[in-house]
Amino acid sequence: MKRLMILMASVFFVFALSACGGGGSDGGSNSSSLDLKTKINNFLITDLTGQNANLQLSDSFKLSANLYTPNLTYVDYGVFVRLTNDLNSSPSSLNSYEIFNKGCLGKGDCSYKQNCSISPENNIFYLACDGLNKTNINNIVSVLPVMLYLEIAVCSKDGCNYELQHIKIEADNKIDNNIAFVNTENANISQTYTSNEITIRGINTEVNINVNQGKIVKNGIILSGKNSTVVNGDKISVMLDSSSSLNIAESMVILIGDVQLSYSVTTGNNKNVKDLSFINTLNADVGKTYQSNTITIGGFNTDVVISISKGLIVKNGIELGSQISKVANGDKISVKLNSALSLGVTESMNVIIGNTQLIYSVTTGNNLNSGYSFISNGIYNKAGTTYYYLTMPSAGNIDFTANLSSSTKTIYDLAMNKLNLLNDSETINLSAGSYIIKIYNYYSSDSITVYSPVL
């Protein structure tokens, strides 16, 4: 942002200012021999941001003045502060904005301190000061650069003293350059693509925008020409047609003020889906849903159909409710499939994309390394269904004691065949070997206590 040019000049007049009032008395018999005129020792402007030694546009700044009043019993004077672009204009004119106006009585009765800012919003300049509503001042900042004056007047019956601060607002036509259009890859051939949207920032005047090809989209409206203007806050995107051949980049140049940007659209590189694959999942837990790796669709000239024999399609991160859909170049695809309810079993699904068939499979573990925890003596109160491995080092009794009837246990062999126990009571005699135990608790407050002297 261009700096506000801050200058200061002291000007003293003895001139009646109608807004300040005048005339007064000190209440003493010798008032005619005393100097009743108030004085301005200084009128200062201070940057409140502390970020830069020089005041920037939109920075908050403090105005303050040290006022001198003769040491009298009674003094009638006024303090008036305004912003204007014409010192010859009257305080009541359209070129003058009153910031402060106060009548004062007695020495030390008045002091002046006020925080203000001048800032552009959507190409309109506003003045904001303590105690005042934000004011549109575009009629004195209609053409840049412009010199503005902050003027203070302190008036008594003897006249007025004035002091000034000068503020110059320069035209700033250089946009913030931390913006970019994101290029489109893996595009379909002969299709129009619209870029991401950028927001114009950092200017306080109109600047030109032009493109060498394609179209400009300004605030959601597609422009017919290749030239236009933008102001602060405008939202800009561009449109460009992809090539009629694969693996070709079309590019355009966008010039905004003196900042040059680019946008390109590159068609797919003819990498066919048949060159891709889903990585099968091994050693899976039983009865669990698994999601494959993600592949990126490429090499097609148009949308194609994707279908699956079972499971679910996940397209660009969204799980689809149908087993058939359409995909285009650049789409990210994965699939989901449930594992078998038995160990050592493979579940497979066919994934057909266009004319290419891919396969994804999930195989449950066939040994004790498929993810279940080992059960031992203790209390098991996890809500819901949980599977465990049980290894009996020798034949013996094992006790499953439920604190509520809603808690149940089921015993399987390693092939997930349910054991038909002659005595399916709390205490069961098992042979030496490995088993799978399913424990179900309705609530976490439910539990089953497991105990065996051989564990």
Please tell me whether residues 442 and 394 are part of one structural domain.
yes
- Name the one residue in this structure whose structure tokens are 């051989």: 454
Decide if 207 contacts 177 (C-beta within 8 A): no
Residue 13 has pLDDT above 90, yes or no: no
Please tell me whether residues 31 and 155 are part of one structural domain.
yes
Query: Do the domain assignments include residue 257?
Result: yes
Please tell me whether residues 41 and 161 are part of one structural domain.
yes
Strands across the sheet with 433-441, in order? 373-374, 384-392, 433-441, 408-412
Please tell me whether residues 39 and 99 are part of one structural domain.
yes
Taking residues 237-256, report their average pLDDT.
91
pLDDT digits (tens, 9 = 90+) for 87-111: 999 988 999 999 999 888 766 667 8
pLDDT digits (tens, 9 = 90+) for 109-123: 678 999 999 988 877
In the chain, the N- to C-terminal Cα span, in Å, equals 76
Under the banding of pLDDT at 50, 70 and 90, the label for residue 368 is low
Out of 1-10, 55-64, 191-200, pick the least confident: 1-10
pLDDT for 274: 64
207: domain range? 184-267
Residue 10: give its domain's CATH number.
2.60.40
Identity of the residue numbered 233? G
Number of neighbours of residue 41 by Cβ within 10 angstroms:
10
pLDDT digits (tens, 9 = 90+) for 283-298: 887 778 999 999 988 7
Strands 184-187 and 259-267, sheet pairing: parallel
CA 235 vs CA 124, 204, 232, 257: distances in Å: 17, 15, 9, 15
Please tell me whether residues 45 and 130 are part of one structural domain.
yes
The whole-angstrom separation of Cα 429 and Cα 35 is 117
Query: Do the domain assignments include residue 22?
Result: yes
The runs of H, that is alpha helices, within 290-431 are none
> The dihedral of CA 12, 55, 199, 254: what is its sign?
positive
Query: Do the domain assignments include residue 91?
Result: yes
Q: How many H-runs (helices) and E-runs (strands) does the chain carry?
A: 0, 38
Q: Which residue has the higher pLDDT, 331 or 158?
A: 331
Please tell me whether residues 62 and 161 are part of one structural domain.
yes
Please tell me whether residues 35 and 133 are part of one structural domain.
yes
Query: Do the domain assignments include residue 176?
Result: no
pLDDT for 263: 97
pLDDT digits (tens, 9 = 90+) for 208-241: 999 999 999 999 999 999 999 998 889 999 999 9
Q: What is the DSSP string of 17-62?
A: -TTT------SSTTGGGS----EEEEEEEEESS-S-SS-BTT-EEE
The whole-angstrom separation of Cα 118 and Cα 120 is 7
Under the banding of pLDDT at 50, 70 and 90, the label for residue 183 is very high
Please tell me whether residues 59 and 164 are part of one structural domain.
yes
> Could you tell me if residue 226 is left (phi over 0), alpha (psi between -120 and 50 degrees) or otherwise beta?
alpha
Q: Which residue has the higher pLDDT, 218 or 205?
A: 218
Strand partners, 62: 46, 115
pLDDT for 370: 54
